[in-house]
Structure 1
């Protein structure tokens, strides 16, 4: 499994109506352990999510089912693999 940092920029006029379905989608993934953290940027222009997926193809399959993607709320999206080494939520190394 790999970690991916996904940053999106919103199409502002579409975002409010779709936000509840987007958050429901992410909450389900968080419950499955596939989203570590997600939320909007402080300036309200977009958001960041940290996903866990088998690989980038699996991640793309997942994020392409996000209501924000399906309903045209995403103006831009960047995906970068992330390799966490320090953090309270990481398992202890043996």
Structure 2
């Protein structure tokens, strides 16, 4: 299993508040399945970071694609990168 970091900003849309419960439900499901390590907004609320655990980049992207924030275009500038952890965990 590999770790992947998703960074993103928010589009200026009321959909963020509307879709937040679905987004959090999605994250809770991923955590229960062992596919989510960490997630949360940046302190200035300009975006967020999600750390995923997946077999490969395609599997990680599939998890991102299932997120209501992705499906409903709440987020922008999404960047998913594999993270090689050297220290921790």
**Shorter-normalised TM range:** over 0.9
TM-score by length of 1: 0.88
Tell me how many residue pairs correspond in the alignment: 88
Partner of 1:62: 63
* TM-score normalised to structure 2 length: 0.92
Higher helix residue share: 2
Shift in Å, 1:8: 1.0
Which segment is superposed worse, 6-15 or 18-27?
A: 6-15
Gaps in structure 2 of 5+ consecutive residues = none
Is 1:15 paired with 2:29? no
Query: Which residue matches 2:76?
Result: 75
Structure 1 gap segments, 5+ residues each: none
Larger Rg: 1
Q: What is the deviation of 1:29?
A: 0.4
Aligned to 2:30: 29
Off by >2 Å, runs of 4+ in structure 1: none
Displacement of 1:76 in angstroms is 1.3
What does the per-residue CA deviation read over 1:13-67, in whole Å, with 9 as the maximum and x for residues that have no partner?
2211111100110111011111111000111111100000110011111110100
